[in-house]
Structure 1
Amino acid sequence: PAQQDVAILTQHSDFNVTIINQIYSFLDLFPKKIQEQLSTISGEDVNNLIEVAMDKGRPYELFFYHKKEPYSNPTFIVKQEEIDEIVNKLSFGTDNRAGMDGSLHRISAMLNREAKIIGLTLRVGRAVMGRAKVFSDLIEEGKSILLLGKPGAGKTTFIRDFAKTLSESRRVVVVDTSCEIGGFGDIPHVAIGKARRMQVADIRRQQEVMIQAVQNHTPEVIVIDEIGTKDEVSTARTISQRGVILCGSAHGDMKSILKNPILCDLLGGVESVIMGDRNASRDGEKMRLQLKADPVFDVVIQL
């Protein structure tokens, strides 16, 4: 059976952070010979492995925490049969993503024009439990929270821990579009605590499942990762207006979100207004920007 590493790291005088690092189940995905080579290359740094990139006919690339450049060796080349062996262990969805039961690992596929998988990005899934405690005041006050950050910034890790922390005192439903929050399989990963989880069969139906969650399961909190479309933004606003707490994420920073014609509505949207002559003469400006509506989220955290 695959081993499981658990580390307890003291981050604050009031709480600990628990990291569940299932690196051995991740390595088990690879053909035996490749497992051995990956273990040899990683050495004592194996628990810091983030991602393995595989492209047919090119060197393996290994990405580690605290290292800017990936490891690659021109003699360690990806073969199609190695990709095929991994793919045969998995089931990919319409978003070309797959995972493993009981883990948070994510495998994403690259296809050629004939829809054959010729490349894989295999990302190690780690549950980091306890980090959300730093925002315990916001959680206790029942604030709706939006997390912003670029890909890989840790948004999903925080979202997952928010779900766990909120589920200790509230009814929480996670809308898990790519199974990244609660992991793959029918039984959610322990990292989301008591939260219930609704899976989304097709990423294009995410907003429908968000509404179903509210209508059918009486949640106090809805947790949703990667809000990105106009329909999802509109649905988030509808849910917020029904008095349900939202915890979600979006790609980008505050500046880019405000400039995004779709996502800016999460923060209330921005519009230009013409100032009256008296106000214009006082402020020296005829035009001013203001919010179009109340924000969907009470708090924005940029990672």
Structure 2
Amino acid sequence: MDSQGLAIDIGDVEAAAARLKGQIVSTRLVESEALNAKYKARILFKPECLQRTGSFKFRGAYNRISQFTGDEHKRGIIAYSSGNHAQGVASSAKLFGIHATIIMPLDAPQTKVANTRSYGAEVVFYDRYNQTRDEVAAPYIEERGMVLVPPYDDPSIMAGQGTIGLELVADANERGLTFDHLFVPTGGGGLISGISVAVKAGSPGTRIWGVEPENFDDLRRSLIAGEPVANEPGHRSICDAILTPQPGNLTFPVNKRNLAGAIAVTDDAVKAAMRDAANYLKLIVEPGGCAGLAALASGEVDIEGKTVAVVLSGGNVDLDLYGEFIAAA
């Protein structure tokens, strides 16, 4: 906790980096001359789609589970996720020899379900449109005593994801660059809050933008309102990885302090971004993971002549669906 009472500070992120050393891929920045020309800016991409388990989520999950007490180790893990956090938790739990049960939505991509099971985790399904994750998880916590590893609203999770920010600043410094803008896909805010703490410590002038799916822009509306605002129910998006009901209680205060704002992008813009990532970067990026790239085309932020960073947060997507999305773009 920092001096202003926020959930994490730069010391927490640096401690997470020490725990993660040797366990993660330090994903190096990549760029495309064609995309630079298209947007008239220098754009560098952080390809967390190449991270262990295919997304950034391993960082936070491992950081949290590595700090388990002996009692927590015995009790086992319960977590809920559409897939990326599930895989991060399941993989980390396997490394530490801990049983994990993951609650996943019925419409979770099959590749994410299969990958989660491949790490030895038990998968329990729920209907995300008629049930809440908390009510499904409650019996596992209250009756069985299992330890909840939440997807974003946890200091250790936030700090683990924040190690991306440390790497971004270090890579920029190595190249003699300073980022004017940074775009980060955003759901509950664990990723962007952690990154923002690290980036603001090392590059205070960088303007940080959250990017959300259209109709799931709770962070954007919350920043405008100055307090957490929930999404209206009943909407759909292909960006399964970043569909959350509202900002986290711990993540929002950090984001309120550190972010320049948030941008909502359409599914069609995301499909076009996925095509660009494949065509110009030669990377398979899932819909939610490509939201930051989609934001560049929105025109909401003037990036011409600027140096820009974009986090590509994950690459776990069913290939049949991927093909459909690319074709549709």
Please state which band the TM-score falls in when normalised by the shorter chain.
0.3 to 0.5
Q: Structure with the greater relative contact order (CA < 8 A, sep ≥ 6): 1 or 2?
A: 2
TM-score by length of 2: 0.32
| Greater fraction of residues in strand | 1
Whose Rg is larger?
1
TM-score by length of 1: 0.34
| Greater fraction of residues in helix | 2
